[in-house]
């Protein structure tokens, strides 16, 4: 009994266990790429004759042989390892040729080993070839009753081709599979030039090649793995979008990432759809068959397949990260290696195999040559040999007699030099036979004494001599050994090389949150107290003019809606604050809420906003290439304007960017930014005021130059009177007509509209005549072509008052003047129609506008229902208001021109959202008219 402290015993026992797991179980060897269990299976099956050129044998027999001789760890672990080597979706090059049910990519278990059959594949034979030629070391098995190889004399870099994974004690390995042709080509290149850089090798081996295909995203993870042995490779399934029916599309998955269970993947997708984490999927089914994998995911009619696919990539294993950890045993020690280091280790091992094999073959060749020398000598002295044998009483005496005789060495001396034989020593021209030669002579058949057989012995001796010389050259010359290695690798490549299955894409694998957002039009609403939200445009249904509208936003106290606009989810939006700063955000990042929700405080969305409020919001063009040729025109309540390049606001910090310097001394509360719009050289700026005045002037370098800085107050755009202030900014196309043509067109256009609608009054004619007389012009008579040309270029302006009245007027009624004047009348304001103008904006035929009140109600009105009247008319009722309710915001609704069929109908007039009942106001029996010449 020897007392041992528990600390020492635990340390030594655990260390022994850890080393056993690391070396003898969990980690593959860099030389043959196999763990002990795989090595034992392959070697045992070769011993039993289960080779690729023999019939299949029951797997149970192979498992029993392995367990009984080499691997006493239970039949299930052996069979599981054997099954994996037979699975085409697990191994890049299969080492076991299986017949029967060996599982599936769905994770199905293989049939019991008593049912399945197996044999070695041809590629496995390349790992085992020459194992009986002293190419590798052998050691005793677990009970020292058998010898087993410590490594197989692999003819190709199996570790890189088939990869491997395992968890040891305190370490783990996870090596991806690679294309066999590429790996062998890289090995050949490295043999030719060991100084090749990693970049050179990666031109040959661009990355892993998984047996299940897929797409690798990006190359940085591959580079890191090949250089250091560690890296992360993003693998994505191969998917295509197909048309199922006229209005239905489907996402079809044909390849999935490596080691992903197809059945579990489909279950996960179904769970996410039920949990509404992924929306837009109506059905999922597996149509895989013998021809290949095919998972069909049907997409709902109103969903975007690309967005649904991006969501699947984000939330499921259709996109996974393969963590590369290239740890393997090198000289019996675990080592983390890169691509080049692994290939160099294999080359060194394979060179050693060739060297040991050559030495073994040399010994065999020399033994054969030594025996052939004795046969040649016996044939040359056949009569003497026969006499000695006949005189001997027994075989032993005959052998001794042959060995004690001196034989003439004149004939064998050249042969001894040919085969480099040092067994026969020539003394004074005489030589004696060795025991091996004497035995060979005694075993010589009489038929070998014929002339033909004597020639065959001489020819064989010459071949053996040539073979010995070749082997000596291989043993003595490293370039010759490398040449042999190249030739053998070429033979292997011709057998196992296959096309690449995994595509490598330079596209980065990280998905932005934007790619998960369903594209669509949103209505963005901002309140006076700084609350913002977005609501899908389809929530609002078009109503006739004069309707009651519906609730658009929940209010807190006396909060009112001050601004609304519609934009695409993927558009950038510039926010301009009362302090003259600009902020930038994507529409999809704005909080989404129902029509009755209050939204989220802008101060939480833009933390740097501080005590300022957002006064202007500008949706930017979705195509950023258009930004280069666009300018921004700024307008303030004080009537100042300024022009800047849009590119000045391309990079906006999260803390904001100074947009325009404001006059803090103007008015009661200082100046404010009321509008920002995109513009081009030669267009017109139109400013409209709260008290019904407006001015229009052209954008040129003389009238409104481009400012280099963003901190100036700009120049005067309109001269204000009576405490008036600017509240609308619009950019129009320049009028390409003189005053006479403009007056003539307006008269003809009014006449045409009266003919089209019998109830349309002629209130615009008197105003046209008055303005023409004021300008001293006479309306010109236009021919049909000129009228059609001006009609095509005509823009229509909508003016809405806070009393819910509005009118459309031709932009030709607003003459172009110089910048800085007092302007002209825009609309007639009365106690009935409204005391202030809410907005003046250009509108398009066939579009809708939305009006929002301070009570939070909203109505969507087709602009074609608003009559086109004179510039100074009062307009008609657009929105029936209650009590002191006032209109606070007006904005156009732009439809998606690509919508067709049922989709277009839904955009034009969808049903209300679930749980929301719209306010159904009465439809107008006829237009309510007001203005000059009307009864009202």
Element (H, E) at 215: strand 215-217
Does residue 142 have an active-site annotation?
no
3-state secondary structure 660-702: CCCCCCCCCCCCCEEEEEEECCCCEEEEEECCCEEEEEECCCC
| Sheet of strand 215-217, all strands in order from the earlier edge strand to the far edge | 164-167, 172-175, 319-325, 230-236, 215-217, 503-505
**Alpha-carbon dihedral of residues 214, 220, 224, 227, nearest 10 degrees?**
100
Among candidate residues 14, 17, 115, 142, the one labeled active-site is 115
Distance CA 825, CA 867 (A): 18
In 380-460, the DSSP E strands lie at 407-408, 430-431
DSSP string, 124-186: HHHHHTTTTTT-S-EEE-TTSSSEEESS---SS-HHHHH-EEEE-SS-EEEE----HHHHHHH
Buried b (16+ CB within 10 A) or exposed e, 246-284: eeebbbbbebbbbbbbbeebbebbeebbeeeebebbeeb
Give the rounded distance of the alpha carbon of 578 from its chain centre.
41
344: left (phi over 0), alpha (psi -120 to 50) or beta: alpha
Other Cβ atoms within 10 Å of 632 Cβ, number: 25
Could you tell me which of 292, 212, 293, 221 has the C-alpha nearest to residue 258? 212
Could you tell me which of 240, 346, 222, 219 has the C-alpha nearest to residue 293? 240
Please write down the long-range contacts of 507-516, taking CB distance under 8 Å and 24 or more positions apart: 507/217, 507/218, 508/217, 508/218, 509/217, 509/218, 509/234, 509/236, 509/319, 510/234, 511/310, 511/313, 511/314, 511/319, 513/588, 514/570, 514/586, 514/588, 515/307, 515/310, 516/307, 516/310, 516/311, 516/314
**C-alpha to C-alpha distances, 917 to 544, 545, 549, 637, 911, nearest whole angstrom:** 17, 19, 11, 38, 10
Q: Which DSSP state fits 868?
A: B
Determine the straight-line distance between the first and last CA of the chain, rounded to whole angstroms: 121
DSSP string, 512-556: PGGGGSPP-EEEEEEETTSEEEEEEGGGSPP--TT---EE----S
Half-sphere exposure of residue 884: CA atoms within 13 angstroms, side-chain side: 0
Other Cβ atoms within 10 Å of 377 Cβ, number: 23
Distance CA 162, CA 210 (A): 9
Distance CA 668, CA 560 (A): 21
For residues 214 and 237, the answer to whether their CB atoms sit within 8 Å is: yes
Buried b (16+ CB within 10 A) or exposed e, 874-907: bbbbbbbbeeebbbbbbbbbbbeeeeeeeeeeeb
Could you tell me which of 377, 370, 262, 363 has the C-alpha nearest to residue 317? 262
Distance CA 837, CA 859 (A): 18
Could you tell me which of 635, 642, 627 has the C-alpha nearest to residue 703? 642
Distance CA 572, CA 574 (A): 7
Distance CA 796, CA 693 (A): 17
Distance CA 501, CA 492 (A): 19
Catalytic residues: 115
């Amino acid at each position: 009994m020897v007392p041992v402290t528990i600390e020492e015993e635990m340390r030594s026992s655990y260390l022994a266990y850890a080393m056993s797991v690391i070396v003898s179980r969990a980690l593959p060897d860099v030389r043959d790429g196999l763990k002990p269990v795989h090595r034992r299976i392959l070697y045992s099956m070769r011993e039993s004759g289960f080779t690729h050129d023999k019939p299949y044998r029951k797997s149970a027999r192979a498992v029993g042989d392995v367990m009984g001789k080499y691997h006493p760890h239970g039949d299930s672990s052996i069979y599981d390892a054997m099954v994996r080597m037979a699975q085409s979706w697990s191994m890049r090059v299969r080492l076991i040729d299986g017949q029967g049910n060996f599982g599936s990519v769905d994770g199905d278990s293989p049939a019991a080993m008593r049912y399945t059959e197996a044999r070695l594949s041809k590629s496995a034979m390349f790992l085992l070839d020459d194992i009986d030629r002293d190419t590798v070391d052998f050691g005793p098995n677990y009970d020292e009753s058998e010898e087993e190889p410590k490594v197989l004399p692999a003819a190709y870099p199996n570790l890189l081709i088939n990869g491997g994974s395992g968890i040891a004690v305190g370490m783990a390995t996870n090596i991806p599979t690679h294309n066999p042709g590429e790996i062998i080509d890289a090995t050949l290149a490295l043999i030719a030039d060991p100084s090749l850089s990693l970049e050179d090798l990666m031109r040959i081996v661009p990355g892993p090649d998984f047996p299940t295909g897929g797409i690798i995203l990006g190359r940085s993870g591959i580079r890191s793995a090949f250089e250091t042995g560690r890296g992360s490779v993003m693998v994505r399934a191969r998917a295509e979008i197909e048309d199922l029916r006229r209005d239905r599309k489907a996402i079809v998955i044909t390849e999935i990432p490596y080691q992903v269970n197809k059945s579990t993947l489909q279950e996960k997708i179904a769970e996410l759809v039920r949990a509404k984490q992924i929306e837009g999927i109506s059905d999922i089914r597996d149509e895989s068959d013998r021809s290949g994998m095919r998972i069909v995911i049907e997409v709902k009619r109103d969903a975007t397949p690309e967005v649904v696919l991006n969501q699947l990539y984000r939330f499921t294993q259709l996109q996974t990260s393969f963590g590369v950890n290239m740890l393997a045993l090198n000289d019996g020690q675990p080592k983390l290696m890169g691509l080049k280091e692994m290939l160099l280790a294999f080359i060194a091992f394979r060179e050693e195999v060739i060297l040991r094999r050559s030495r073994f073959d040399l010994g065999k060749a020399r033994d054969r040559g030594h025996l052939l020398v004795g046969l040649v000598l016996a044939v040359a002295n056949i009569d003497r040999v026969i006499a000695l044998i006949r005189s001997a009483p027994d075989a032993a005496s005959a052998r001794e007699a042959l060995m004690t005789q001196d034989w003439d060495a004149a004939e064998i001396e050249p042969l001894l030099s040919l085969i480099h034989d040092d067994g026969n020593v020539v003394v004074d021209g005489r030589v004696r036979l060795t025991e091996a030669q004497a035995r060979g002579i005694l075993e010589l058949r009489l038929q070998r004494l014929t002339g033909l057989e004597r020639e065959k012995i001489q020819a064989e001796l010459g071949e053996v001599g040539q073979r010995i010389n070749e082997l000596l050259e291989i043993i003595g010359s490293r370039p010759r050994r490398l040449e042999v290695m190249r030739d053998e690798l070429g033979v292997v490549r011709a057998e196992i090389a296959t096309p690449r299955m995994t595509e490598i894409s330079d596209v980065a694998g990280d998905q932005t949150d934007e790619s998960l957002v369903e594209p669509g039009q949103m209505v963005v609403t901002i309140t006076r107290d700084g609350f913002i939200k977005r609501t899908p445009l389809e929530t609002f249904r078009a109503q006739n003019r004069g309707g009651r509208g519906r609730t658009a936003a929940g209010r807190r106290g006396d909060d009112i809606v001050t601004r609304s606009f519609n934009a695409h989810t993927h558009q950038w939006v510039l926010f301009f604050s009362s302090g003259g700063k600009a902020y930038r955000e994507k529409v999809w990042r704005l909080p989404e809420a129902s029509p009755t929700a209050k939204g989220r405080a802008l101060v939480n969305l833009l933390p740097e906003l501080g005590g300022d409020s957002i006064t202007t919001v500008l949706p930017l063009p979705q195509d950023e290439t258009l930004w280069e040729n666009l300018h921004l025109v700024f307008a303030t309540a004080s009537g100042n304007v300024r022009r800047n390049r849009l590119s000045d606001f391309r990079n906006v910090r999260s803390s904001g960017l100074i947009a325009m310097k404001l006059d803090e001394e103007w008015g009661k509360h200082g100046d404010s930014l009321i509008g920002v719009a995109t513009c081009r050289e030669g267009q017109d700026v139109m400013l409209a005021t709260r008290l019904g005045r407006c001015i229009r002037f052209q954008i040129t370098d003389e009238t409104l130059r481009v400012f280099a800085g963003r901190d100036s107050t700009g120049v005067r755009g309109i001269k204000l009177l009576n405490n008036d202030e600017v509240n609308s900014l619009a950019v129009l196309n320049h009028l390409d007509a003189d005053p006479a043509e403009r007056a003539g067109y307006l008269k003809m256009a009014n006449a045409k509209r009266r003919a089209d609608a019998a109830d349309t009054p002629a209130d615009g004619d008197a105003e046209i005549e008055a303005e023409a007389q004021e300008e001293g012009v006479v309306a010109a008579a236009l021919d049909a072509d000129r009228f059609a040309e001006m009609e095509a270029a005509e823009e229509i302006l909508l003016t809405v008052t806070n009393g819910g009245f509005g009118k459309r007027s031709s932009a030709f009624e607003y003459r172009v003047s110089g910048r800085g004047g007092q302007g002209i009348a825009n609309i007639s304001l009365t106690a009935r129609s409204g005391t202030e103008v809410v907005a003046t904006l250009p509108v398009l035929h066939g579009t809708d506008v939305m009006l929002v009140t301070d009570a939070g109600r909203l109505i969507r009105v087709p602009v074609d229902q608003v009559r086109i009247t004179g510039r100074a008319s009062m307009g008609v009722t657009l929105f029936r208001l209650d009590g002191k309710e006032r209109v606070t915001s007006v904005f156009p609704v732009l439809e998606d021109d690509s919508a067709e069929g049922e989709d277009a109908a839904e955009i034009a007039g969808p049903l209300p959202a679930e749980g929301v009942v719209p306010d159904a106001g009465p439809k107008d029996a006829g237009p309510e008219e007001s203005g000059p010449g009307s009864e009202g």
